[in-house]
A and B are shown apart, each in its own frame.
Chain A
Amino acid sequence: MAVINGILKTDLNGFILKNPVMTASGTFGYANEYNDFIDVENLGAIVTKAISLLPREGNKHIRIVETKAGMINSIGLENVGIEKFLSDKVPVLNANNIEFIVNIAGSTVEEYTNLAKICSSNNIKAIELNVSCPNVKTGCLEFGTDDKSLYELVSAVRNEYKGFLMVKLTPNVTSIESIGIAAEKAGADAVSAINTLKGTSIKLNIVNGKFYKTIVQGGYSGAGIKPVAINAVSRLSKVLNIPIVGIGGIEILEDILEFFAAGAEAVQIGTANFTHPDISQNLVFELEEYIVKNGFNDLTELKKELRA
């Protein structure tokens, strides 16, 4: 099926996508790793795995565990670093006509601003700030859990970066509204919500009366977090003027429609990419078919009806 020109067009505050389906950071690699399954250029955009200034090894202990309706990951931001990303991955993305948003992560404001400067000077069109990293200056409190630190961070990045700036919000807060407002006031072009929930898995094994425990503490993602994500998007949509990109547990078309109904302008598919590597592309086609079949003119009209 060919993508009908224009009906899925999505405008995120001036950042124009051919459709609203993106892939979430950490679930889709850096470039064309999924070309064995789909034509990645058919997606609205991919959000890259989080990139830091220097390459990161990530965590040593057990990194992933399956849960009911999802998984917990504790990868520890393993990544190739910005330099290698720019030299090895960006040319592949560009050669394959893949729209991309670079997810950046740091542990100080300076690290983020340096990354933003580098992205700016390399003509990177769009970045997503991963603010679920500990801020070393405030005793490891995450940037995204405190509205003042987040405002400071986003403002500093905004000063260095004129492209599309999206802030990925963590759900592990009391009031996601105040965090979203801080991002908007600091000049973010959009927010994406939600990042993973904090989760811990303890697997017990008893051998000769002694318990052996396998513990994985990290970010919980997958179908199980969808209600939390829908709640966050609904609450944000009441207080923000900038677009919201909904993330959390999307597996089928109805999930995307629910996010639109809650106020999202676009969505990201995460964990489901691991289970069904062709799912994001399938959802683009299904969304298009749904709009045509139900007699809507385009995505804008569908969203309007969903929110009526």
Chain B
Amino acid sequence: MIKEKSKKIHKAKVARIEKVSANSYLIEIEGEISQEIKAGQFISIYCENLTFRRPFSVFSHNSGKIGILFKERGKGTKYIKSLKKDDLIDITGVFGNGFNIENKKSLLIGAGIGAAPISFLKSKLNEKNIENLFIAGFLNKNEIPSCIKADIAYTDDGSYGRKGSVITDIENIIKDYKPEIIYVCGPEIVLKTLSRIGEKYNIETQIAVEKVMACSIGVCRGCVISVRKDGNIVNAAVCKDGPVFSGSEVVWQ
């Protein structure tokens, strides 16, 4: 007998797909997901003829539509890019823990496509009137998605905003802004650096980790990282126990 349950697999419809920078796209999908979505949580998209669903953290969630910001990187994103308005797609989720918002002066850091969940987090903090500063970094001006509105922007080549990466002048920014919490998403080097800086200045950090996933639900154990828990070093699945971890708990390889 089949019982009614809140199933986490959905057929969703593409409501909009739009190029928002030289190599990134914003896709909005309409599905049956009505639950509140936390910034940092993700959905997984089935891509035709590929074994692994591709996980994407949510960029926006308005009136039933989930927005995903993605950069074309390989076969999966090439497929998603090819979708048209009204196409049906197969999504699973919402998965993961998401950022745990605290009522504290917040520094938000998003590097590259990692700016997507951080931008979503900023909108949540703004709704709650929590003071925040959003720093985003990209390779160059052409790669900045038009839908990302950062307070401070960096480009590696200086073609827009400040020259350098989000970590270039981070210690001075922290000294000036005096955040009580730092939220980060981006490449490992950025996560690692901010975790260390957070410890140095005794500021709590929450970091969103990215890993290749097969199942998205903690079963395959393909995406595990090492974390400290009760004095021991244990495995944590990025998909289920994360993707957001406290910067101080992650054991970097």
Contact = CB atoms under 8 A, between A and B. Distances in A.
Interface in A216-273: 222-223, 271, 273
A125 B123 CA distance: 53
A291 interface: no
A220 B222 CA distance: 14
Interface string B141-153: 0000000000000
A14 B154 CA distance: 68
B219 A29 contact: yes
A64 B7 contact: no
Interface string B206-233: 0000001111011111111010000000
Given A71-B214, A73-B220, A277-B92, A66 B3 contact: no
Interface residues of B, number: 30
B51 interface: yes
Nearest to A67: B51
A39 B3 contact: yes
Contacts of A142: none
A1 to B, nearest CB: 7
A277 B213 CA distance: 14
A42 B3 CA distance: 11
Contact of A27 (B1, B2, B5, B220): B220
Given A222-B51, A278-B9, A33 B220 contact: no
A269 B171 CA distance: 51
Contacts of B50: 66, 275
B53 A39 contact: no
B6 to A, nearest CB: 7
A37 B9 contact: yes
Contacts of B160: none
A64 B220 contact: yes
A134 interface: no
Interface string A59-78: 01011111101110101001
Given A33-B217, A33-B219, A278-B9, A69 B224 contact: no
Interface string B1-23: 11101111100000000000000
Contacts of B7: 36-38, 278
A62 B222 CA distance: 8
A69 B8 CA distance: 25
A276 B44 CA distance: 11
A211 interface: no
A221 to B, nearest CB: 9
B221 A58 contact: yes
B253 interface: yes
Contact of A70 (B51, B213, B221): B51
B194 to A, nearest CB: 23
B219 A57 contact: no
Interface in B21-80: 46, 50-53
Contacts of A69: 51
A42 B9 CA distance: 17
Q: Kindly name the residue among B2, B9, B221, B222 whose own CB sees the greatest number of chain A CB atoms within 10 A.
A: B221
Nearest to B213: A64
A94 interface: no
B235 interface: yes
Contacts of A276: 9, 46, 90
Nearest to B214: A274
A33 B7 CA distance: 12
Contacts of A57: 235
A202 to B, nearest CB: 16
Given A58-B235, A60-B253, A275-B51, A73 B218 contact: no
A66 B52 contact: yes
B222 A75 contact: yes
Given A64-B214, A66-B50, A39 B5 contact: yes
Contacts of A274: 51-53, 214-215, 219-220
Interface in A19-52: 26-29, 33-39, 42, 49
A2 interface: yes
Contacts of A60: 226, 253
Contact of A37 (B8, B53, B221): B8
A275 B220 CA distance: 11
Contacts of A75: 220-222
Given A33-B217, A36-B8, A71-B214, A64 B222 contact: yes
A35 B6 CA distance: 9
A3 to B, nearest CB: 8
A29 to B, nearest CB: 4
B51 A71 contact: yes
* 9 interchain residue pairs of minimum CB distance: A64-B222, A29-B219, A36-B8, A274-B214, A274-B215, A66-B52, A78-B221, A63-B222, A75-B221
15 contacts: A27-B215, A29-B218, A33-B219, A36-B7, A37-B9, A39-B1, A39-B5, A58-B224, A58-B235, A64-B222, A66-B51, A66-B214, A73-B214, A223-B51, A275-B51
